[in-house]
Chains A and B, each alone.
Chain A
């Protein structure tokens, strides 16, 4: 057989980048530094129509100045961009579509802009590639969604372009590595340019341009939950979780979702957890943002380690002073990293627990609503049973041993199972039901013409559901009929719960597939806010010995 080699140039990307960067030399001074007022011109020079462009949009920190500048470019020069970015939070992230600067979008999570994405999809202003999980999107940065130009954000830079991302590193390393090593262009906005950085998070030769933004970058304290807003019902469900799941399986390595339910659990560890004698036996290693509500448990010696996806405003000094627990750099400040934390959350934890908005009778759960394309960020990676896991722990093995489908699907091999737990209230505020016959995700798929329903956690991955009525141990169910009956059995007066057959529910209770507070031996009169180790944000400051410095919006005093 004869092989036919092709003749081509093998460094067109490199040459193109060199040409673009060269053309921008008029805007640089001292090498890489570009004045803020020249930023729009810089973008018009180095970005070309149809480029894949990443605006660093994280859960927390935002390249807000570069996002704003991208909105100001001449649409005749730059159009039809393909935006590849994990989070869309700022209005500018959508304005680029409104103006025709961008056309296509691949993303993970969109928070406040979710309504506009749905609207733009309907009007044809935006073409959606796919909604990914964080890890999935980072993976595709290195396969078929590599950015040609990345607009990133860091705290400080030096003259050589070295960057200090500091406390909130988040996505930056993943974006820069993918972009730069495929000959792309990296532009960083920084709060200040200094002589010497505290530490180098991104080496200068991976960065082409540095802009000092007129204002420090925007960052959102997304993970702070005021203990004063935790309800008695959340305390009850937290106690049920601790006794019926954490203690039952000996959950040591875990991730907590965002929300008041898990904040309640964190604040119950030093009180209820202590009463049950669980210190050292549960909750020793977390994959978690620096939640202020975890401070009392840390101070009481419960926690051995925490790796963080991102930072949390106000927690800088506390985290720095607890370097045995958090991942702190030689300079003394923490470095977060969403890609590594998500990897830990996917492979190395025994349990994911979090709140949701809707659960259907099959156990599918979703926070999607009919007119918002929001995505789920990292929850699906943590809220699933990772099939690539090959190490065992006690909790993982116990859940695997209880799995009723194991003989049918696994044969005689010993395997374990990740615990995936959803906490739901039968009715939330304004009487919104937590259990529905059909998820809003179906209506959304139809409205936004998505090929699949955006389900956060698939029913077959879900092992436990907690409501004020009880815990359903879904992995113990023999078949879909029984799984549905178990969910109905704890779904209260929702349309799903009203269809429960009391006889079947009683049978499931007998088998321990459903357990109520009585079965668990929890005195519900004790389930009040007085169980919480901190009752308000000020208590958290006191617990932290004054190291936690909450943002003004949480200073209720």
Chain B
């Protein structure tokens, strides 16, 4: 595996789950929970005659972002598409609960310094959702994660990081959207039903999954950034993600709360406005929406580099 100093300039998109976990926190601070040597693997896959991985495709651990303990959950898309089963789901939930325990203990021990030492949860999503081989356990894991998110509200920020090959789809698309903050690179994609499944169920006229440009401008980070489903769009290096996570770790809980998309009656109203807008304008393509929000030449936006895009893009105004 690459050294931390090499990871800094490496592509986030190409990085393995472990490389991301190590590189997202400060140099030399990462400690992994349930390391592969502990061999916590799926009991269900063995029964089905499938290969297992000793970390069940999920790297969890803790490191530092400045003085903030960062609880990292990182999914490995190269193992069954990063799908969530019983063991990796439990690892995910366990890591979030551990962050809450840490918050409580830090508050008790350093009452004056809580803001400066407040922990956060960072989840690097690379998944299509439930692992079909262990579907019920996988669904339960999703529910438990959502539950744990609620416990974290106003206490510990939860940050979704999306920018790996598989993207973030299925039930985990909901989970990522339920976090406080979403950070993406240009390659990042979030959605519920995957493009291939939409095409299969609704036909090629509805959604042509082989048209990658269409897929990206519907589920990709630039679109999410314009409609405010993504808070930070960064360059594709692990170092850039690390830097922005450091900034987020230092924000007050009030500022964090403002970045959310759901979770209050006002936010529900804001979402309903969006639904109404879509109903009124009947967009044929995400570019229609971009134009509506003030982008004169929407077709040019996908071609821009991240830096150029950030300079010129017009986003939906938040109420």
Contact = CB atoms under 8 A, between A and B. Distances in A.
A555 B208 CA distance: 13
A45 to B, nearest CB: 37
A529 interface: yes
Contacts of A552: 210-214
A488 B222 CA distance: 50
Interface in B271-319: 302-303
By CB atoms of chain B within 10 A, which of A228, A529, A553, A557 has the most? A557
Given A552-B211, A556-B187, A557-B186, A530 B216 contact: no
Interface string B139-176: 00000000000000000000000000100000000000
A557 B220 contact: yes
Contact of A555 (B11, B13, B302): B302
Nearest to A556: B212
A555 B14 contact: no
A553 B212 contact: yes
B88 interface: no
Interface in A226-259: 228
Given A552-B212, A557-B220, A530 B187 contact: no
A552 B215 CA distance: 10
B67 to A, nearest CB: 32
A179 to B, nearest CB: 35
Interface residues of B, number: 18
A279 interface: no
A297 B3 CA distance: 29
Contacts of B302: 555, 557
Chain A, interface size: which category?
10 to 19
B57 to A, nearest CB: 18
Nearest to A431: B51
B295 to A, nearest CB: 16
B234 to A, nearest CB: 15
Interface string B181-225: 000001100000000000000000000001111101000101000
Nearest to B210: A553
Contacts of A553: 210-212
A535 interface: yes
A493 interface: no
B10 interface: yes
A78 B225 CA distance: 60
A539 B167 CA distance: 20
Contacts of B11: 529-530, 535
Contacts of A556: 187, 212, 216
Given A552-B211, A552-B213, A552-B214, A557 B187 contact: yes
Contacts of B14: 529-530, 535
Contacts of A528: 2
Interface string B95-133: 000000000000000000000000000000000000000
A554 B212 contact: yes
A345 to B, nearest CB: 31
Interface in A510-549: 528-530, 535-536, 541, 546
A552 B204 CA distance: 14
Nearest to B51: A431
A546 B216 CA distance: 19
B212 A530 contact: no
Nearest to B304: A557
Contacts of A530: 10-11, 14
14 contacts: A228-B165, A530-B14, A535-B13, A541-B303, A552-B213, A553-B210, A553-B212, A554-B212, A555-B213, A556-B187, A556-B212, A556-B216, A557-B220, A557-B303
Interface of B: 2, 10-11, 13-14, 165, 186-187, 210-214, 216, 220, 222, 302-303
Given A555-B302, A557-B186, 7 more contacts: A535-B14, A546-B303, A552-B212, A552-B213, A553-B210, A553-B212, A557-B216
